[in-house]
Structure 1
Amino acid sequence: MSRKAYSFVRTFAAEPARDFCADRHYLLCASAGALRLEAQGRSWLLPPARAALIEAGRTIRVSIPRPATTASALFDTGFAPPPPAPLTVFDLSPLARALVAECGAWGEGVEPLTAYAETLFAALAAVTWRLAEQPSPAVVPVGRTPELRRALRLTEERLECELSFEDLAREVGLAPRSLARRFSDETGMTWRAALRRMRLLRAIEELAAGDTPVTKIAFMVGYSSLSAFNAAFHELTGRTPTEYRASFRP
């Protein structure tokens, strides 16, 4: 019989999207690189110093655009209650980071946890379950119909271009009015809002990937004005790009 809870650190190579499902509640903490997680019609970005809480038995899609390192903690369903949502991404507090690090001493095994270790994992669950009630805004819808999913994919592939909505509609075989209605019905966002969100999430990936200057990242994701990029980034995250990057390295 395995432990009620255990932890491990793992480095992943870049890989395309694949389905993932665990039989335990899964706390996935990014420490380097960024992962993309998809469930229930939405896609989250998981950069460093953020965590994802995944309910046991829930299938999600995971893609790793670049190599990434994560620290994970798994909780038996009898040890921790169901998370507040099937999948949530959120910022880690300093206390949560310290608990993740401390729990790293107990990997998968058959020996029961010591009383001290069980207390630590219980505290980690209590803290992160509470943090998961305030999810990250780093999320975009993925669409339900093939036409909208293709429109979103094409938009993401051309973030740095001056993409025309009319040209996009023509490529996916819909009238502009029909595509606009698909965006509203399936995502609750306009195409412009989805484009802006995708640009900012790509910027977060670039911030997590290294030390590329913020100005260069702004131009890479399609902004011609650094001030416009900084304002949009702050509106989404509550921080400047420089502050957000600093939060990756506590």
Structure 2
Amino acid sequence: MNRTAYSFVRTFAPEPARDLCSDRHYLLYASAGTLRLEAQGQTWLLPPARAALIEAGRPIRVGIPRPATTASVLFDTGWVPVPPASLTVFDLDPLARALLAECRVWGDSDEPLTAYAETLFAALSAVTWRLARRPSPVVVPAGRSPELRRALALTEQRIGDAISFEAVAAEVGLAPRSLARRFEEEAGMTWRAVLRRMRVTAAIERLAAGDTPVTDIAFAVGYGSLSAFNVAFKELTGRTPREYRASFRP
């Protein structure tokens, strides 16, 4: 295909993670549902509020934990600048979301783009390349060893419950001190810090998915009070949950 850019719109059922590598710069976006992206020893959740910009040739793993519709865009490497980084996950603003929605019309066809379509794709690249210079801090380590990956999976499964580090260590089969050392060496942060990021990530997914009250979301992701949730959310994202939700609504 000789097109300078095209949209990739598909609906997927839940499926395990699989490897993905494109020969074009890839703007990965789920217009509905959620994608899970793993690369460089880290994991990101991509609800409709967020997107990933991936440089051509960069391998990643993408999983679909729940039904999702993608409206991603692939750019010819000779038509747009090299992305600011080989992989960046960032929050979308209303303009980027509107441009993505408009670009859906031009799929993977051999028909040349109209002048109007090229203008839209050029505007989309300009906006998303700018946004990619401000990567999202809400990232969770993926872990290298089977024990840490198991501990991360258990923690994520129970973010809404009264989970304890000692209970996770027991299920993994390590002493708490040994598991704490794994977190320091492989994740570069404590289990408590990872838990907080997982809870904020889960909250972002719920904020993007609908109009569930913020208080309900706070309790669903494991916080005992709205004030504690607001503090943790703002410390990590720089915005309150309501401000965050408003940032990706038209």
Contact 2:234 2:240 in 1 (8 A): yes
The letter for the 2-side match of 1:198 is M
* Cα distance in structure 1, aligned partners of 2:50 and 2:39: 17
Structure 2 counterpart of 1:20: 20
**Most deviating of 110-119 and 124-133:** 110-119
* Cα distance in structure 2, aligned partners of 1:247 and 1:66: 24
Cα distance change, pair 58–235 in 1 and its aligned pair in 2 (3 A): same
The alignment partner of 1:56 has SS state of coil
**Most deviating of 45-54 and 97-106:** 97-106
The alignment partner of 1:77 has SS state of coil
The letter for the 2-side match of 1:224 is G
* Cα distance in structure 2, aligned partners of 1:248 and 1:127: 14
Cα distance change, pair 84–188 in 1 and its aligned pair in 2 (3 A): same
CA shift at 1:200, angstroms?
1.3
CA shift at 1:51, angstroms?
1.8
| TM-score with structure 1 setting the length | 0.89
* Cα distance in structure 1, aligned partners of 2:244 and 2:30: 14
Aligned length: 250
Structure 2 counterpart of 1:185: 185
Return 5+ residue gaps in structure 2 as ranges. none
The letter for the 2-side match of 1:241 is P
Structure 1 counterpart of 2:34: 34
The alignment partner of 1:16 has SS state of strand
The letter for the 2-side match of 1:136 is S
* Cα distance in structure 1, aligned partners of 2:157 and 2:101: 37
Cα distance change, pair 99–215 in 1 and its aligned pair in 2 (3 A): closer
Equivalences for residues 15-94 of structure 1 within 5 A:
15-94=15-94
Cα distance change, pair 2–217 in 1 and its aligned pair in 2 (3 A): same
CA shift at 1:118, angstroms?
3.2
The alignment partner of 1:136 has SS state of coil
Cα distance change, pair 245–93 in 1 and its aligned pair in 2 (3 A): closer
Structure 1 counterpart of 2:144: 144
Return 5+ residue gaps in structure 1 as ranges. none
- Over the aligned positions, Cα root-mean-square deviation in angstroms equals 2.1
The letter for the 2-side match of 1:40 is Q
The alignment partner of 1:159 has SS state of coil
Equivalences for residues 111-122 of structure 1 within 5 A:
111-122=111-122
The alignment partner of 2:163 has SS state of coil
Matched, 1:205 2:205: yes
Contact 2:93 2:248 in 1 (8 A): no
Structure 2 counterpart of 1:222: 222
CA shift at 1:116, angstroms?
4.3
Structure 2 counterpart of 1:245: 245
* Cα distance in structure 2, aligned partners of 1:99 and 1:210: 21
* Cα distance in structure 1, aligned partners of 2:93 and 2:202: 23
**Most deviating of 32-41 and 96-105:** 96-105
| TM-score with structure 2 setting the length | 0.89
